[in-house]
Homo-oligomer: A and B are copies of this chain.
Amino acid sequence: MRQLAIIGIGQTPVGELWDKSLREIAGEAVLAAMLDAGLEKVDGLFIGNMLSGILSRQESLGALVTDWVGLRNVEAFKVEAACGSGAAALRIACMAVASGELDSAIALGVEKMSETKGGDTTAALATAADADYEGAMGLSFVALNALVMQRYINTYHWQHTDFAPFSINAHQNALTNPYARLHESIDYNDYARARMIASPINLLDASPTGDGAAAVIVAPIDHLLQIPTGRPLITIAGSASATDTLAVHDRHDSIWLEAAYRSSRQAYHQAGVSPDDIDVFELHDAFSIMSALSLEACGFAERGQGPRLGLDGEILPDGRIPIATRGGLKARGHPVGATGIYQIVEIVQQLRGEAGETQVPNARTGMAQNIGGSGATIITHILQSSH
């Protein structure tokens, strides 16, 4: 396989972007990434998106966006893996360039959720779960995660408030990220007193959705040597994906992310690294319970001990395994199909040393993990800096 690099990044702020259409926010991120890479032409576009068909009554996103950004006729498709759609698009962009079929590809994640032409967002998000066996029972996505969190708390004897550090860290880190949806510091008392949504998940356990788009450009290193950038070379050292059962009740163990375990192990193997080598980790903190489960499945904590890393301060930007360094899903926001690419943009910022006040010191190796469904599709990427 050709060695690959990420040579450009772009993003829009996450929020309620009422004055911009789906194609406009997509275009804003793509053009920012092309400008960042210094490219006027790219060979292909792979778009991570979950809900455009239901909420915007718009499929065919490939042709929609290529024309809008001045890449008419270029190969382009939409890729869907629920909230893991963003990283799925990057995974396919990597395959496209690694195969030699394309010499450069944009992986775009885009979601427009505030304004809908097709029904409510909670019902739309439930399409990530098993429609016949979970959706048909009226299980919303937050309810599914609440069941998982309750089981975890009972099994490992935690208090609900032991999860507070995940949310506090995310909110703190978002304060200086201009693209984040929430710029609001929270403390332990805010967390403990937050309004309950689906017990034990309260408002500060859950990430806000939103509109947003993020894009990265993938190119092979051999081509890249001719492009002087004056920046460190950011290589894709690992890229792997795995699935689990779609319905949570079908799993042998409902509080273990088997697909996170498998995809992270494969990515570590490809990159020739271990969890000890990861300097920064953008994980999929759609709900605080998912932070604990990801940290465990990826080898940063023993089973049942994920919350301990938060309580001990190890997840802070200067801790052993910094997470949500630009706000995470919890505070940067979770425009679902775009999230996986926001994570990659943020890891690139860390590896370039462009992460401002939440810069992780000497970050050389970063990992991003994006989850579709309640652990059903999990994609892990490891990036490394040449510095």
Contacts and interface: CB of A to CB of B under 8 A. Distances in A.
A92 B62 CA distance: 14
Contacts of A244: 63, 67, 72-73
Contacts of A126: 57
A61, A82, A243 — most chain B CB neighbours (10 Å): A243
A59 B128 contact: yes
A274 interface: no
A211 to B, nearest CB: 15
A74 interface: yes
A60 B73 CA distance: 28
A2, A82, A101, A132 — most chain B CB neighbours (10 Å): A101
Contact of A50 (B59, B73, B118): B59
Contacts of A101: 1, 94-95, 98, 239
B92 A99 contact: no
A53, A59, A95 — most chain B CB neighbours (10 Å): A59
A373 interface: yes
A79 B129 CA distance: 18
A144 interface: no
Nearest to A78: B80
Ordered nearest first, which 10 A-B pairs have the shortest CB separation?
A63-B376, A98-B99, A99-B99, A58-B131, A78-B80, A63-B246, A59-B127, A75-B241, A63-B243, A95-B95
B258 A73 contact: yes
The copy count of this chain in the complex is: 2
B96 A60 contact: no
Interface in A93-128: 94-96, 98-101, 117-119, 123-124, 126-128
Interface string A56-93: 11111111101100001111111111100000100110
Contacts of A59: 50, 80, 82, 127-128
Contacts of A250: 67
A21 interface: yes
A54 interface: yes
Nearest to A68: B246
Contacts of A88: 77
Nearest to A373: B60
